[in-house]
Structure 1
Amino acid sequence: MPDRAPKLLILGTRGIPAAHGGFETFAERLALYLVQRGWQVGVYCQRDVEAVRDRIVRSTWNGVELITVEIGLRGPVATLAFDAICAHDAATRGGVCLVLGYNGAAFLPYLRARGGRILTNMDGIEWRRPKWSLPVRAFFYVSEWIAAWSSQRLVADHPVIADHLARRRPRGAIATIPYGGDPPAADVGPPPLGLEPDRYLVSIARIEPDNNILTLVEAFSRRARGVRLVVLGTLRVGNPYHRAVEAAASPEVLFPGAIYEPEQVQALRVHARGYLHGHTVGGTNPSLVEALWAGNAVVAHDNPFNRGTAGDAQFYFSDPDSCAAAIERVLSDGAAVAAAREAARARAEQFRWDAVLAAYEDALRRVGGYPPAPDRAPRATAAEPVAAPAGPRW
């Protein structure tokens, strides 16, 4: 029989407090939510060190057990080592395991064989990303299958991801739960970087080909705009794609690097004329959800992931010409922008953290064999595709 207090271990992130991306933010929100609801929660955290002294160190943060694993390696092998140690430790602790992503799927059969109860958020379709070499894409493809069949239940953060996973597992084993967000603070400050409200567009994403950053920069830079384009993200010296992005930029494009201060990022969103979103692969993208909550008019790549998240009232592109046309309309058509902003705020209501976290609790109770939450009946919608649907996972 399960202990009176349900137990959860969260694997697959670099840890909390969140400082790295969407999965870390989600892990923090879920851990704190469940602790308040009487769960015992542990989160595995990776600490990079020159030499390992204490392989696993346990501490407590806001009622959450932080299980910190020291890793003395670098690169992809470090992540695999971290995932292996987490799976081995989790197999000794009981409770239910929430695995975020399937990069460490190779170790899930061991965890399952040791009696682990596993719910895996399957993230995006990583093996379709063109940035990866063929061997890496093969690794992700195999890992996706391993995770799908080693987990008792899967989470898709978008109906299109659920459709994809239904080719791996029966629909009854898949819960569709989107990523969450919150309304912006009422007292959000002025935009940083010396920007003027409504006089700039913003892109917040990893600068990679499958995020179409080059297309966005080229389309904006075709002529003088009289406004700025702010491209948040790290540019690395020697990266050919990054060099091409910089070369394509007009003087009106600003590259401030990555900004992680939440207040600054929120101010950038709230005061922007529009948000540019070029992602082509993934599910419900956290940055796009945050743009909806900020009430941004959105210019997005036209694919089922983005339309399923932002809805049909935004501006979409499929090539450089349609991208330039969408940008021009956002900059010149005030009525269309006002309508898109109103639609974005309405759409954001489908991504409230309280509903998302409640759906996860129901799914975790089901996988762990725990009774339904005492203050509510099981949420039937947790196992069904929602009408519209989680690093940053930029």
Structure 2
Amino acid sequence: MKNVFIIGSKGIPSNYGGFETFVEKLTEYNSIEETQIKYHISCLSDNKEEFEHNSARCFNVNVPNLGPAKAVYYDIAALKKVIAYIKTNEIKDATVYILACRIGPFMGHYKKQLKKYGAELFINPDGHEWKRAKWNWLIRKYWKISEQLMVKHADLLVCDSLNIEKYIREDYKQYQPQTTYIAYGADNSNSSLLDNNQTLADWLNKHQVKFNDYYLIVGRFVPENNYEAMIKEFMKSDTKKDLVIITNVEKNKFYQDLLVETNFLDDKRIKFVGTVYDQELLKKIREEAYGYLHGHEVGGTNPSLLEALAFTKLNLLLDVGFNSEVGQTAALYWKKDDLHELINQAEILTGDEIQMFDKESTEIIRTSYSWTKISNEYTSLFKQ
């Protein structure tokens, strides 16, 4: 039996989040297929209990609320528990897979312990955390140094984006990093909600939205997702359709700055509608949108982009490598100053043209990003 310890997600059962969904799907597939892999999953909690989920051993890690340092503390505490478990149970074939590069300065010490017990260290470098605008310069510097040291000590870096893999190999070539590419996965099953579903009708009525008469944005409310550019450009466009924005909007400084820069309250087409945690409802909202706007420019393969390509007919993506490697020719691409022109062009596409984009994007998700494919690739990797 191969033992794989996964650290870095908040744990399972998952609510919503990229790494959490990944771990949920990976263990779910493993429990069905009986791949002879035993997963051990760290879970952020307020207690220290253990339980089984999807045939995986889940162990809770209780850490204090330390602000940005909480995630660092959590990963270290989880890693200590993993090493103790490997030692106590005399496990000889362990792989420790750490999601994201948060504990680089401490990695040299723990790598020696893992090596002592014959355990491999795999790391998912995630995206460019050190580029995120929410961090001050000191925290950004820490994330960059941490990434460097995680790369240095990894036996293998599993990248979910070809662009991230290229960046790791080029920027840290002094360490001769060993890398492989396994994409993030996506659910490609259609929504179970019918057009006359009451929950759907209530949502549409509440926000005064009509089928096929809105563009959609779904994502975290942070500057690097380019809300300012998308809203400004949408307001400059000629479309009569709405812009529905599903996000965890908070009336914070970013929101106030955005309001000053765009005056979006003066445009009745702009509709911040809060979050949607009902996944079947969110699928249906994606399916019934005229088009999807994607402005993420930091990170690897973005889950919301995969979901957009799976369910939304027409996708308008910021023209950066992370997005184009996924969307390929199944999407339209924009720069930060020409989105309004692309929206105007999207308005005059024929039904056949939109159907062509829809068919191609759905096929990309089905063949390259299905959870079955991704889980198979991880199973092969861990069993090698």
CA distance in 1, matches of 2:256, 2:290: 25
Q: Specify which structure has the bigger relative contact order, considering alpha-carbon pairs within 8 angstroms and separated by 6 or more residues.
A: 1
Say which SS state the counterpart of residue 263 (structure 2) adopts: helix
Distance 2:236 2:313 in 1: 23
Matches of 1:234 and 1:152 in 2, distance apart?
37
Cα displacement string for residues 37-61 of structure 1 (whole angstroms, at most 9, x for unaligned residues): 23221111112x4xxxx5x211122
2:151 to 148, 155, 159: 148
How many angstroms apart in 2 are the aligned matches of 1:266 and 1:186? 5
Q: 1:129 aligns with which of 128, 132, 142?
A: 132
Q: Distance in 2 between matches of 1:272 and 1:105?
A: 42
RMSD: 2.1
> How big is the shift at 1:138?
0.9
Residue matched to 1:306:
323
Match of 1:20, SS state, is coil
User: Is the counterpart of residue 106 in structure 1 residue 124 in structure 2?
Assistant: no
- Does the 8 Å contact 2:27/2:54 carry over to 1? no
For the residues of structure 2 that align with 1:119 and 1:189, how far apart are their CA atoms? Answer: 43
Given that 1:208 and 1:241 are in contact with CA atoms closer than 8 Å, whether structure 2 keeps it comes out as: no
Aligned length: 355
Instruction: Give the conservation status (yes or no) of the 8 Å contact 1:273–1:330.
Output: no
Higher helix proportion = 2
Per-residue deviation at 1:146? 1.2
Please say if 1:138 is aligned against 2:136.
no
| Structure 1 partner of 2:231 | 217
| 1:157/1:283 contact within 8 Å kept | yes
2:325 alignment partner, SS class: helix
CA shift, 1:346, in A, is 2.3
Of 299, 312, 322, the residue aligned with 1:282 is 299
- 5+ residue gaps, structure 1: 367-394
Listed one character per residue, the Cα deviations across residues 292-333 of structure 1 (whole Å, up to 9, x for unaligned) are 11143111111111111101342111123x111112222332
Distance 2:230 2:194 in 1: 27
> How far has the Cα of 1:186 moved from its partner?
5.9
Q: Give every structure 1 segment of 4 or more consecutive aligned residues whose post-TM-superposition deviation is greater than 4 Å.
A: 169-172
1:338-377, Cα deviation, whole Å (9 max, x unpaired): 22212211222211211111111222233xxxxxxxxxxx
Q: Is the 8 A contact 1:87 1:107 kept in 2?
A: no
Is the counterpart of residue 327 in structure 1 residue 323 in structure 2?
no
Q: CA deviation at 1:284?
A: 1.3
What's the counterpart of residue 8 of structure 1? 4
**Is the contact made by 1:123 and 1:282 (CA closer than 8 Å) also made in structure 2?**
yes
Distance 1:22 1:121, change over 3 A: same
Given that residues 295 and 342 in structure 1 are in contact (C-alpha distance below 8 angstroms), is that contact kept between their aligned partners in structure 2? Answer: no
2:143 partner letter: F
In the alignment, the residues of structure 1 paired with residue 346 and residue 361 of structure 2 have an alpha-carbon distance, to the nearest angstrom, of 14
Percent of aligned positions that are identical: 23
Counterpart residue type for residue 130 of structure 2: W
Q: Using structure 1 for the length normalisation, give the TM-score.
A: 0.84
**Contact 2:186-2:370 within 8 A present in 1 as well:** yes
Residues 176-224 of structure 1: CA deviation (Å, up to 9, x unaligned): 1111113223634345621322111111111222111111112222366
C-alpha separation between the residues in 2 aligned to 1:181 and 1:268?
17
Q: Counterpart of 1:18 in 2: which secondary structure?
A: coil
1:85 paired residue among 77, 83, 86: 77
Residue number in structure 2 paired with 1:38: 36
CA deviations on 1:105-127 (whole Å, 9 max, x unpaired) are 33433332112421111111222
